[in-house]
A and B are shown apart, each in its own frame.
Chain A
Amino acid sequence: MDRGPAITGKSIPRIDGPLKVRGQAKYAAEYEVPDLLHAAIVSASIAKGRVISIDSADAKSFPGVVAVLTHQNRPWFWPFSFLYKDPAGPPGQPFRPLYNDRVHFSGQPVALVVGDTYEAARDAAALVRVSYHREQHSTDLAAEVSRAYKSPRRRLGLAPTPQPTGDADRAFSEAPVKVEATYTTAAENHHPMELFATTVEWGDKTVTVYDKTQSPKSVEIFLKVAFRLFRRKVRVVSSFVGGAFGLGLRPQQSVFLAVLAAKALKRSIRLVIPRDQMFALGYRANSIQTVSLGADKNGHLLAVRHRAIAATSRNEDAQDPMLNFSASLYRCHNVKLAYELAKLDTVSPCDMRAPGAATGMFALECAMDELAYATNVDPLVLRLANYTERDQSENRPFSSKALRECYAQGAERFGWAKRSHAPRSMRKGKELVGWGMATGVWEAAMSPVPARAKVRLLADGRFEVTSSITDIGTGTYTILTQIAADALEASIERVVVKLGDSALPFNPIQGGSWTAATSGSAVQAACNKLKKKILSRAKQAGIVGNGQSTELLSPAALADLLRLSDHDNLSATATIINFPFGKKYTGATHSAVFAEVRIDEELAVVRVTRLVCAVAAGRILNPATARSQIIGASVMGIGKALYEDAATDHNLGRCMAHSFADYHIPSNADVYEIEVLFAEETDDKVSPIGVKGVGEIGSVAVAPAIANAIFHATGQRIRDLPITIDRLARSRD
């Protein structure tokens, strides 16, 4: 087959870029809907207890206010919590806003004020007076350690924490070299740029919900069941999503409350959750972890023990793959892992970019660095000494693993060979210089749920690709355009991609880094099907051209075909069912991150002056968008290492980091050089298109690499994230 140069693999600028810079890409809160009402949340000031009374008289008489909804006057919804399950939800009872008088967490919605304008709703919300009966709360993970437990129920789709192998306790106690330490990570908030928002267009037959979500389909199903909307057609639209990082995996409070109010009032409603209420939507679980590594004198691992206690809410057992990589990243025959939860009076934790891995690998990779110093082996050499070609936890090979190449290429670019091993041995002026590294790993898998895509030949000779998958800012529009263009031997201008709409062919949640592989494979399959169809129709119609498919798919030939064929609507739909990966291989993306920090010796001000991220993630569909993913994730990693902390006042049981002045993320000045390298990795097993996904892997290894660099610079081992100036000062003095 004669194919033009492939478009996949090229740095095509974002297809949706022009729309975004012109402000024409519409987000959930931007849809114009006639006779729209606006809602604002009144949230709880206590962490645990009951609402005794809600005085909404002033709010109701406020000009422009239409209604104040509370648990007392809300419309009926199912009392059975299992009907509110969603595919990304953990075991337990999903939280239902305004269900009853119970307060489960500070910031929980206790009333919803609806008004003619946003201002009326917001201003009246401040006039609602709620009185509570307080109960003793606990929001402090450290205080709950003794009550930690292994969750008896596993989250759907989550691989179990690997079973013990060998005898880790004995191997550890007998090991010539031991390191054992406890690490903690702070709760983090996702804080995507776009606020969570929902616009509900309420009609007699149709309910259209413009929502910020990573899964229009799950929201559609959720709403139909939860609010008994079976007689109406429900359509959920999320054409553009301004970041989500996992906070949009489950139907959010915004969509629940907006639809609740729309149903109650039979009106169209918009609800935008302001920044100061976003912290109560979900968070990356904070953790307390103990890692014990036993090794021989050369650093070969003899025992790995890793215990993690992670926060969860009272109502759900939030879980993520926190320890799932601790058994398989390095070669070791004696491994024992314990993943436990401790209940707090908070909202349920929620997946956040590289969920689990970013937390668990921080502890493991810092412990590896500690082992490097205990054995006096270079941290990179130590990792190579423990390199494994097989996934020993499952006893099977990886579908591909170019981690060795990541180490080599990253080290080369960084200049790792010039590092002097001793802490405090490198300096420049008044600053100590530190070089640290860490390994990253994330699962590479297709979604366990099938994905569909449809492609249609349009009358003007262009192809329209449709899929319900969202683009959460990652570049999904662009890579799907590239895949379709290649499959149909067309220029990208001839491909129109429509996404983020539950009325379009079914796709699973956008998350887990599986979108490119899963939805991409579906698009490719649909396009291949259509191409076949077109070629055979052309033959039937007697269009031969020069016999080459490219020519038969050209606008001129297609125009002929459309004229001669009775089908002016040539289309094809394909379904991708989880690639028959079997249990034969483990799919994983890997990274090696090298960090340079400079730290003022007296003042302990840290600058992360250089990051080199070498990533092995199978086939890279678009180096530009893939690179953006890694850079963005690295900036998040800097935040995790140094700044981000959803700090809670445990006396009040309330997160006090409720604005960007209190919840620090890296500013431009905090980000120096970030270099991204992609190690070549061909993988025909992981997905039909050889793609592994790049959304999460960039977030895994940056924080430990920085923590290790800080140790190298200062000789101070800070085991608590974020590494703030006070922690550095305290450990020094």
Chain B
Amino acid sequence: MRRFEYLRVASINQAIERLSDEPGAKLLAGGTNLVDLMKYDVATPTTIIDINDLPLREISETSDGGLRIGALATNSDVAFHPVVENRYPLLASAILAGASAQLRNVATVAGNLLQRTRCSYFYDVMTPCNKRTPGTGCPARNGLNRNHAILGASQDCVATHPSDMCVALAAIGTMIIVQGPNGARSISLADFHRLPGDTPEQDTTLQNNEIILGIELTPAPEFQRYSYLKIRDRLSYAFALVSAAALLTIDDGVISTAHVALGGVAHKPWRDTAAEVVLVGRPASRGNFDQFASMLLLRSDALSENGFKIELARRTVVRALEQAASRTPQSQSDKHIH
């Protein structure tokens, strides 16, 4: 860990000012990711700007029937909020599939969006890593990569985004509200996380001097058909090998909307709206789910050790869709997958 200054800010503008003045400054929310990375010397901020006093915890319904969630709302606050439980159960389920109760009690929405990859090279400063130290190389590409990306990876980085929450947000459709020195803007979740390309050090399109104020969920009807299915190396407390978030509306056995996002497979939550279209107007059948899943993974590419994830992802999507269609979403406490 490197020495740093600690600043507890009282206003959003104060935070933005400091971020603009000091490129090495970092915001601190729950700290469950940032402090870990500092302990491993992966993150070396010069100043920690503690934003926990800022009024960014509120969860409120928007006039158009969506939901606005403050950046500092904890993962637990969100998962157990009545509106989320009723109208966005997919989000609640995905959050509860991640980490542990203790972590969820402090981890925040913004922190979760910005959590960094779990690639074990990235975490170990004794090894090269383009994401951590640009230009040093990517040992995962020819090394231990069984849990690395099968979609959208680059020569320079094959890491995945580890969040569960974000996979649900991608399926639901979410705007990220951010503020910088020039005012506020919103970024759709699809454009928020990036693919690594030749600048893997950049996880998102958020600017260094911008702060996330909150997120806005697309309006959603009550009692949707949904499921969040996470496959991992043990039954709990592990990051996804692959996960699938599925949202369906079905009228008379025919699919009217289908939103599906994949986690653990790419540098960002993976969603392919073009592929989703083929499900619309078709019966909710296994054959159709199969076909869709194959389309979703059409452009997947295996590394030396992670080829199994392609078929696993395909099957996980199919099962999540089946669970959604039959209104039997995956339980996150009973580890039996039905």
Chain A residues in the interface with B (C-beta under 8 A): 43, 45, 106, 119, 122-123, 126, 276, 429-431, 598, 600, 602-605, 607, 642-643, 647, 649-652, 654, 656-659, 661-662, 664, 666-670, 724-726, 729-730, 733
Contacts and interface: CB of A to CB of B under 8 A. Distances in A.
B308 A603 contact: no
Interface of B: 1-3, 40-41, 118, 120-121, 123-127, 139, 142-144, 146, 231, 233-239, 241, 305-306, 308-309, 311-312, 315-316, 318-319, 335-338
22 contacts: A45-B126, A106-B126, A119-B1, A123-B3, A598-B336, A605-B235, A607-B235, A642-B234, A647-B144, A649-B121, A649-B144, A651-B139, A652-B127, A656-B120, A656-B144, A661-B120, A662-B120, A669-B236, A724-B233, A726-B305, A726-B309, A730-B308
A132 to B, nearest CB: 11
A602 B337 CA distance: 10
B235 A669 contact: yes
Given A603-B315, A603-B337, A652-B127, A661 B233 contact: no
A733 B143 contact: no
A232 B239 CA distance: 52
B235 A654 contact: no
Nearest to A430: B338
Contacts of A607: 235, 335-336
Contacts of B126: 43, 45, 106, 654
B312 A123 contact: no
A598 B125 CA distance: 40
Contacts of A126: 1-2, 41, 125
If over half of B's interface residues share one DSSP class (helix, strand or loop), that class is named, otherwise mixed; here it is loop
Contacts of B235: 605, 607, 667, 669-670
Contact of A668 (B121, B236, B338): B236
Given A122-B1, A607-B335, A643-B234, A659 B319 contact: no
Contacts of A642: 234
Nearest to B145: A649
B308 A605 contact: no
Nearest to A726: B308
A666 B3 contact: no
Contact of B124 (A123, A656, A667, A729): A656
B312 A603 contact: yes
Q: Which 8 A-B pairs have the closest CB atoms?
A: A669-B236, A45-B126, A726-B308, A729-B308, A669-B235, A649-B143, A667-B237, A656-B120
Contact of A729 (B1, B311, B337): B311
A643 B338 contact: no
Nearest to A656: B120
A529 to B, nearest CB: 52
A603 B123 contact: no
A605 B306 CA distance: 16
Contacts of A724: 233
B120 A276 contact: no
Contacts of B315: 602-603
A431 B334 CA distance: 14
A259 to B, nearest CB: 26
B336 A431 contact: yes
A603 B319 contact: yes
Contacts of B3: 123
Contacts of A733: 308, 311
A654 B231 CA distance: 27
Contacts of A603: 231, 312, 315-316, 319, 337
Contacts of B233: 643, 664, 724-725
A126 B44 CA distance: 11
B142 A651 contact: yes
B337 A605 contact: yes
Contacts of A656: 120-121, 124, 127, 143-144
A602 B311 CA distance: 10
Contacts of A43: 126
A123 B305 CA distance: 36
Contacts of B338: 429-430
A725 B1 CA distance: 36
Contacts of B41: 126
A134 to B, nearest CB: 13
B316 A651 contact: no
B234 A664 contact: yes
Contacts of A106: 126
A500 to B, nearest CB: 31
B161 to A, nearest CB: 15
A127 to B, nearest CB: 9
Contact of B127 (A45, A123, A602, A668): A45
A45 B126 CA distance: 5
Given A668-B236, A726-B146, A729-B311, A654 B337 contact: no
